Amino acid sequence: MVINKTAIYPGTFDPITNGHIDMLTKALRVFDVVILAVASITNKHTLFSIDERLELCKVATIGIENIRIEKYDGLTVNFAKKMNAYTIIRGLRNGSDFEYEQQMAMVNKKLDPKIESIFLIPDEKNIFVSSSMVKHIIESGGKVKEFVPECVEKALVNYYGFKK
């Protein structure tokens, strides 16, 4: 019997960064399929709409095999079950990430004991990259080319009205 190992990698992805791509490719070394689960409802104020975030994720991951990009709302564990994925991938950049993600993993486990959370650490060059940091840099007139895929850089420059 062949077991298809599917995991979800949930997030807001506002916008998707090279750090996210790093986590996605690491997860694909372990799982047959990774679903990039883009949260449509979030407690964060998003820069890009759900449709824009989905499109940026699709373009940013062109050429990466065995991924699916899906939008979801509601509880992540419910979406995972719906997708027959019982593993949630999360990235850890620092100690505060660990504390938050550990708490979320424990809550998810209470909601559904079959759900496991796997934590991955980004490569050194991406350890400090976050969507918030990228937005702060571009809002301040800085360049984000080394932190995001080209399609995201163009979308950010277009959004803020800066010239490259």
| pLDDT of the chain, 164 residues: tens digit per residue | 445 699 999 999 999 999 999 999 999 999 999 999 999 987 778 999 999 999 999 999 999 999 999 999 999 999 999 999 999 999 998 888 899 999 999 999 999 999 999 999 999 998 889 999 999 999 888 999 999 999 999 999 998 876 54
How far apart, in whole angstroms, are the C-alpha atoms of residue 14 and residue 3? 33
- CATH number for the domain running over 6-127: 3.40.50.620
Strands 33-39 and 6-11 come out as: parallel
Which residues are designated catalytic? 20, 44, 93, 131
| Per-residue confidence (pLDDT) for residue 127, from 0 to 100 | 87
**Amino acid at position 90, single letter:** R
How far apart, in whole angstroms, are the C-alpha atoms of residue 3 and residue 71? 25
Distances 81 to 1, 4, 105, 144, 159 between C-alpha atoms, Å: 21, 14, 15, 36, 36
How far apart, in whole angstroms, are the C-alpha atoms of residue 130 and residue 136? 10
| Per-residue confidence (pLDDT) for residue 1, from 0 to 100 | 40
Q: What angle in degrees, to the nearest 10, is found between the helix axes of 150-160 and 131-139?
A: 40
| Per-residue confidence (pLDDT) for residue 112, from 0 to 100 | 96
| Per-residue confidence (pLDDT) for residue 45, from 0 to 100 | 86
